[in-house]
């Protein structure tokens, strides 16, 4: 799908969907870096495991919710002699509780990590993409950004905002060879979902028309296409992959 190797950065790329996306981009022939939470002591072991499987990733610790931390990330990547051609804004958190019981800390944490990060991470790299006349940005939203979810006013608001960010930025850079798209996954067989009680997990599955959870590798394959040269005419889109659970 691609005519040349690009340099990709995947935020939150050391676990779950982020790790699947990092591997898919590596399989597509790209040079891939990932970010992780600062102080994460398991990343080194994760990198070793990936290397044993044929995947080589550069890892950077960064707080995506903090603007200065992301500026430092951009400087480190530049000092390492790299540019960012492909950016996947994947990092995110949940702090689920009904609005009546939600405190400001839970609201701010989710909005800053899931929405402010769009600005914090994208800002340092967008100018160089437009100058080179080629770039791909994929922002990971969620099924709950369009349909909502009980106990997730913070998360649903942030993920809805992600696509608003996508649509506006896509218009700003379309003539510069840079595409910006959103991917909205449904419920996936990640560690977080698989850790919930079996009866709760089965209730989730019962609500999915295809009758199963999605695989992170399926979403990752979609992302790999969106960042390819074959998808150059696609920008400002929100692509849902949720097993038919929410159709719009």
| CATH classification of the domain holding 223 | 3.40.50.720
Quick check: is 212 in a domain? yes
Quick check: is 246 in a domain? no
Buried b (16+ CB within 10 A) or exposed e, 151-175: ebbbbbbbbbbbbebbeebbeebee
Average pLDDT over residues 20-41: 96
Q: Note down the domain range covering 67.
A: 7-241
Quick check: is 201 in a domain? yes
Quick check: is 233 in a domain? yes
Name the DSSP letter for residue 215.
Answer: P
Query: What SS3 class is residue 233?
Result: coil
Given this model, what pLDDT does residue 196 score?
A: 79
| Span 50-67, pLDDT tens digits | 999 999 999 999 999 999
Quick check: is 1 in a domain? no
Quick check: is 135 in a domain? yes
pLDDT band of 2, cuts 50, 70, 90: very low
Return mean pLDDT, the chain. 95
Total domains present in the chain: 1
* Entry pTM: 0.95
pLDDT band of 230, cuts 50, 70, 90: very high
Task: State yes or no: pLDDT of 191 exceeds 60.
Answer: yes
- 201 vs 136: which has the higher pLDDT: 136
Average pLDDT over residues 162-172: 98
Given this model, what pLDDT does residue 193 score?
A: 82
Distance of CA 196 to the CA centre of its chain: 22
Contacting residues for 22 by C-beta, under 8 A, at least 6 apart: 8, 10, 13, 14, 32, 34, 55, 57
Quick check: is 42 in a domain? yes
| Span 60-115, pLDDT tens digits | 999 999 999 999 999 999 999 999 999 999 999 999 999 999 999 999 999 999 99
Given this model, what pLDDT does residue 86 score?
A: 98
Active site residues: 155
Task: State yes or no: pLDDT of 49 exceeds 70.
Answer: yes
């Amino acid at each position: 799908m691609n005519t040349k190797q690009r340099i990709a950065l995947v935020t939150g790329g050391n676990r779950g969907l982020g790790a699947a996306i990092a591997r898919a981009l590596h399989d597509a022939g790209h040079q891939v870096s990932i970010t992780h939470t600062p102080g994460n002591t398991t990343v080194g072991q994760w990198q070793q495991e990936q290397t044993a499987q044929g995947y080589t990733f550069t890892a950077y610790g960064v707080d995506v919710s903090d603007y200065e931390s992301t500026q430092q990330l951009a400087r480190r990547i530049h000092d390492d002699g790299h540019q960012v051609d492909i950016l996947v804004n994947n990092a995110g958190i949940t702090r689920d509780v009904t609005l009546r019981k939600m405190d400001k800390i839970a609201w701010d944490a989710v909005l800053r990590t899931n929405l402010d990060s769009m600005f914090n991470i994208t800002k340092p790299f967008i100018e160089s993409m437009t100058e080179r006349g080629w770039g791909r940005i994929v922002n990971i939203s969620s099924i709950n950004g369009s349909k909502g979810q009980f106990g997730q006013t913070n998360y649903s608001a942030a993920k809805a905002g992600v696509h608003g960010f996508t649509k506006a930025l896509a218009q700003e850079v379309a003539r510069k060879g840079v595409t910006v798209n959103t991917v909205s996954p449904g419920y996936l067989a990640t560690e977080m979902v698989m850790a919930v009680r079996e009866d709760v997990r089965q209730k989730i599955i019962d609500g999915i028309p295809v009758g199963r959870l999605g695989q992170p590798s399926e979403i990752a394959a979609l992302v790999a296409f969106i960042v390819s040269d074959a998808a150059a005419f696609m920008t400002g889109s929100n692509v849902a992959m949720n097993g038919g659970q929410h159709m719009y």
